[in-house]
């Protein structure tokens, strides 16, 4: 174990230590081309002894290949996105490709910045949440000349490929199920969503479908920040104080729905008889509540997986043809809080 490793090691060091040309060392380290078993062994030994770590910066510049996949998502604290990442990882793990994550905090300007930064590393592909981007962002995505998969949402026109569910349809379906079950006085609770387009679309689909049945949302409330469980509890209490005749509460996510559920159970409400509840996302986290909240699976894992598969296929030589508009269809799970129609 030598100590003075101030200057990082280079291929040249390995070359000198092993008495093999830099080029051949490079071949060995990348498993490229034919190298005799003997040289191969010598090189590997030298590299390991020195503790050589290749410089991908130089490699990428020379080969014009960067095995990075940019993944751009709005948030990490939402659980939804880590799950999508998990799906992406599952697929990329079997390849040379590595995901690099950028977080936008639901801010278009930040999305633009993050995209710019990450594209300046010349990744081989981009997976980005949502279909709504600034003109500049869209222009960058197009100009990058790499596969781009927009995920989560399919209500709109992608730059290139897309994988997701129709949130508008998800909203409609839930409205249908609720109406069919006989509920009529419906309240809605969700995040303030000027920038969460998917939540907005679900809400739009929901109200639209209700309207077809001649029903209008009877009450609504929006929150931001804080513990979702606590907010759900709090908002539910307030809403029922204000509109005691509601017979259904639709929550824009499962966490606030769970808060509402716990509150109503404590108060002794008859669920789903006197009042029904539903959330959205199908978060596994919540199994274990006293009652199973009605919800709709957002297909997070599957979305990540499919998106990564598209990227991988497109990057093969020659590119493998794949479906590049994948619309998944989430199923309602009625749980114990929504009567069957």
Rounded CA separation 25/22 (Å): 5
Least spacing, CB of residue 317 vs a second copy, in Å: 16
> Which stretches of the chain bind a second copy, using CB under 8 A?
1, 5-6, 8, 51, 53-58, 60-61, 66, 76-77, 79, 82-83, 85-86, 89, 98, 100-101, 103, 116-117, 119-122, 139-140, 143-145, 227-234, 255, 259, 262, 266, 284-290
Least spacing, CB of residue 172 vs a second copy, in Å: 29
Comparing CA positions, the residue from 228, 249, 341 lying closest to residue 293 is: 249
Structure tokens at 331: 């199923």
Give backbone dihedrals phi and psi of 273, rounded to 5 degrees, phi first.
-70, -65
Minimum CB distance to a second copy smaller for 56 or for 331: 56
Minimum CB distance to a second copy smaller for 19 or for 116: 116
Minimum CB distance to a second copy smaller for 9 or for 195: 9
Least spacing, CB of residue 133 vs a second copy, in Å: 15
Least spacing, CB of residue 286 vs a second copy, in Å: 6
**List 5, 21, 243, 287, residue binding DNA (CB under 7 A):** 21
Minimum CB distance to DNA smaller for 61 or for 327: 61
Residue 108 binds which entry of a second copy, DNA, none, with Cβ cut-offs from 5 to 8 Å by kind?
A: none
* H or E element that contains 215: none
- Fill in the per-residue mask, 29 to 68: x = in contact with DNA (CB under 7 A), - = not in contact: xx-xxxxx-xxx-------------xx--xx-xxxxx---
């Amino acid at each position: 174990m030598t100590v003075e490793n101030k200057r990082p090691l280079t291929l040249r060091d390995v070359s000198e230590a092993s008495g093999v040309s830099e080029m051949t060392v490079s071949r060995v380290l990348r498993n490229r081309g034919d190298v005799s078993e003997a040289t191969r062994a010598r090189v590997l030994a030298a590299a390991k002894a020195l503790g050589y770590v290749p410089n991908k910066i130089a490699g990428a510049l020379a080969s014009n290949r960067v095995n990075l996949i940019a993944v751009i998502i709005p948030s990490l604290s939402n659980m939804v996105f880590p799950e999508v990442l998990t799906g992406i990882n599952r697929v990329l793990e079997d390849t040379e490709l590595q995901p690099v994550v950028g977080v936008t905090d639901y801010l278009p300007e930040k999305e633009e910045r993050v995209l710019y930064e990450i594209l300046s590393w010349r990744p081989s592909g981009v997976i980005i949440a949502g279909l709504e981007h600034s003109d500049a962002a869209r222009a960058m995505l197009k100009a990058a000349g790499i596969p781009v998969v927009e995920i989560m949402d399919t209500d709109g026109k992608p730059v290139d490929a897309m994988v997701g569910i129709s949130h508008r349809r998800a909203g409609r379906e839930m409205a249908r199920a609720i109406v069919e079950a006989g509920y009529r006085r419906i309240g809605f609770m969700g995040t303030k969503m000027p920038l969460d387009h998917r939540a907005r679309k679900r809400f739009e689909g929901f109200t639209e479908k209700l309207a077809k049945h001649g029903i209008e949302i009877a009450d609504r409330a929006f929150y931001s920040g804080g513990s979702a469980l606590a907010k759900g509890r709090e908002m539910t209490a307030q809403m029922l104080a204000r509109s005691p005749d509601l017979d259904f509460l639709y929550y824009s996510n499962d966490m606030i729905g769970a808060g509402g559920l716990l509150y109503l159970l404590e108060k002794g409400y008859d669920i789903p008889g006197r009042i029904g509840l539903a959330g959205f996302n199908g978060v596994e986290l919540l199994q274990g509540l006293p009652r199973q909240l009605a919800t709709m699976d957002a297909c997070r894992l599957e979305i990540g997986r499919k998106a990564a598969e598209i990227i991988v296929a497109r990057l093969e030589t020659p590119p493998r043809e794949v479906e590049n508009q994948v619309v998944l269809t989430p199923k309602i799970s009625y749980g114990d809080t929504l009567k069957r129609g």
